[in-house]
Amino acid sequence: MPLPADIGLRDGRHVMEVPFRALLLPANGLPGHRVGPALERFQMRLAERTGNEWRSDGNAEEVKLFIRWERTGRLVLGEDETYSLTITPARVEVQATTDLGILRGLSTLYQCLAFDGGEWYFPALVVKDQPRFPWRGLLLDVCRHWMPRDVVLRQLEGMELVKMNVLHLHLTEDQGFRVESKIFPELHRSGSNGQFFTQEDVRYIIEEADKRGIRVIPEFDLPGHATSWFVSHPELASAPGPYAIEKRFGVIDPTFDPTREEVYLFLDRFLGEMAALFPDAYMHIGGDENNGKQWAANLAIQAFMKERGLKDAHDLQAYFNGRLYEILTRHGKRMIGWDEIAEGALPQDVTIQSWRGKEGLISAARAGRDVVLSNGWYIDLCQPTAYHYANDPLPDDIGLSPIERKRVLGGEATMWSELVNARNVDTRIWPRTAAIAERLWSPAHVKDVQDLFLRLEQVTGQLENVGLRHRSAQMELLRLFAGTEEVDALKRYVDLLSPVQGYQRHSIRPGGYSTATPLTRLVDAAVPDPLAANRFEQIVDEYLRTRDRTKLDATLDSWGAAVGELLGRTEITSRMSVAEQQQLLAFSELVTRLGPGRSDPNTRPPSLDDAALLAQARPKEAEVVLAVLPAIERLLKAREP
């Protein structure tokens, strides 16, 4: 995963020998800075999975892996990432035009490694592969909840495995200013609670990303979402201070004053410093969710607008964006921002990141602008993998001309961090983002959802093997929540839960969420779209098709044992909310009703009301939902005469 553009299986297999030696064959004799480290990562991971020695040196006759490429790729939009992979019983060969293609080929090769109980091997095959879109990104919000350097670095490992090539770092927010400025050190000193990337951190992240063929794009959100700037510089705001780092979430009023020349002088110096720190051609200005309240209440700003014929806040923000465009251009950067920046006159070379709907993507492409899609890939909303997988930037019926379609560069999964922190962020990103990566890499006709889930089960383990913590973090949270090491029954139950979708959690929790709210409850351990729910859907499909209860009864029996044990553990259930306790009790009754103890599934005592029991299993006050309820409801309906 992603599924290659062209893959052909052949007879036989390449059995791994110890050590599995490789030979680098760059066309110009210069290996560059990427392939050597990539080969070391690849071989070390083979060693970790197989328990065998790894070594990259060796005589030509001992070499089994041959790696050939023509030149060092540039980390720019649209660079060649094509590769071919040939596996025969005698040898393995990865070929590419650039070293970036070699990285993609090694990721595919690693995913091909298999074990049959007797030997480790690669299946014989031929792959010819290239990406569908040149922009395949992950946004990581490190502001609302701080994400330290090690969190960012391990996301790079997962991104490399699934061939993503853009890391978008959201670095400034109402809740924190997360990057060191040497010109204005008071920004990070006052606006971060001591939690920020040093410039050395940034350089290290960029270097490690480069080794993996990943561009790093910074975002400095302007003019709104800007409270953390004003803690040290209230004079830049549209209303007088003082200001403090915001703890609440949502659309907050503080906004830059676009009428003052001092603001642009300040931003020119700061953005110039950041332009020198971040080498990518693009710099993101945010531009979203400015409510305009401070502008409307400021008489000087209103007079400025009247004098220049600016009708409303949209016009004023367009003026502000135009000034930012001049600054970024002067520092050699291309501007990219959210949908809202398109609501005014801007040069054609401004790129739009569409988050509010496909309409924004379509209008940007028709206006002659490049566009990146994020709508449909807000992974913080805890929506199902299949939903994200079906979200195509260029569906057949999009109504764009061939030229306009080329302006759709790709997309980004967006990990906003109101409801995650460094402990559990991996559980929200992975493995669903692997499905988004496939949508952006693989041909448009690759759409088989059940095939996706079969492969996703394998990729989930591979992501863990390369350093992601989506599994181990969940276990840590369960032990913390339960207050005990004995969480097996709780784990089996939580495997059937998922957080409520969208932003419902903010309204369900009394008083809402803030940066001070601990994220250590049941909902924080539950994962979006648990794979166990998908497996149960398939079991139910098979039962309804064959009426063979073997797998169904085994599953229900396992659930019944887990829930029975959990109900006897009051030291755990007492930590659940009242709604969660109600949910657990209702689920226990549903399992009993459907379980193997029911000799005739077509009869049931008339005194039991399925609808009422299902309602009890969906309490409005619970922040988790039983992801298996739709399949259970199908079973209940199938029993009716």
DSSP assignment of 350-400: -EEEE-S-HHHHHHHHHTT--EEE-TT-BGGG---HHHHHH--SS-TTS--
Q: Burial of 377 by CB count in 10 Å (0-12 exposed, 13-18 middle, 19+ buried)?
A: buried
Can you tell me whether residue 443 is helix, strand or coil? coil
The C-alpha atoms of residue 462 and residue 150 are separated, in whole angstroms, by 19
Active site residue 289: yes
Q: Give residue 103's identity as a one-letter amino acid code.
A: L
- Before 431, cis peptide (omega within 30)? yes
Length of the chain counted residue by residue: 641
Which of helix, strand or coil describes residue 290?
Answer: coil
Buried b (16+ CB within 10 A) or exposed e, 161-178: bbbbbbbbbbbbbbbbbb
Residue position matching structure tokens 């490049």 = 370
Token pair, residue 588, equals 């226990």
Over its C-alpha atoms, the chain yields an Rg (Å, rounded) of 27
| Spatial CB neighbours of 453, under 8 Å, sequence gap ≥ 6 | 385, 531, 534
Alpha-carbon distance of 36 to 234, in angstroms, equals 49
Coil/strand/helix, residue 94: strand
d(CA 526, CA 623): 10
Residues 6+ apart with CB under 8 A from 597: none
Q: Helices 449-465 & 531-546, crossing angle to 10 degrees? A: 150
Catalytic residue among 289, 343, 565, 633: 289
The distance in angstroms from the start CA to the end CA of the chain is 44
* Six-digit token string for 593: 């009703």
Distance CA 198, CA 495 (A): 38
User: Which contacts (CB < 8 Å, 24+ apart) does range 329-334 have?
Assistant: 330/268, 330/272, 331/271, 331/272, 331/275, 331/276, 332/275, 332/281, 333/271, 333/275, 333/281, 333/282, 333/283, 334/281, 334/282, 334/283
Contact present, 371 and 351 (Cβ < 8 Å): yes
Determine the Cα–Cα distance for residues 512 and 504; give it in Å rounded to an integer: 10
Contacts of 389 (CB under 8 A, 6+ apart): 435, 436, 438, 439, 447, 449, 452
Q: Which two tokens stand for residue 361?
A: 């993507």
Point out the residues that are catalytic: 289
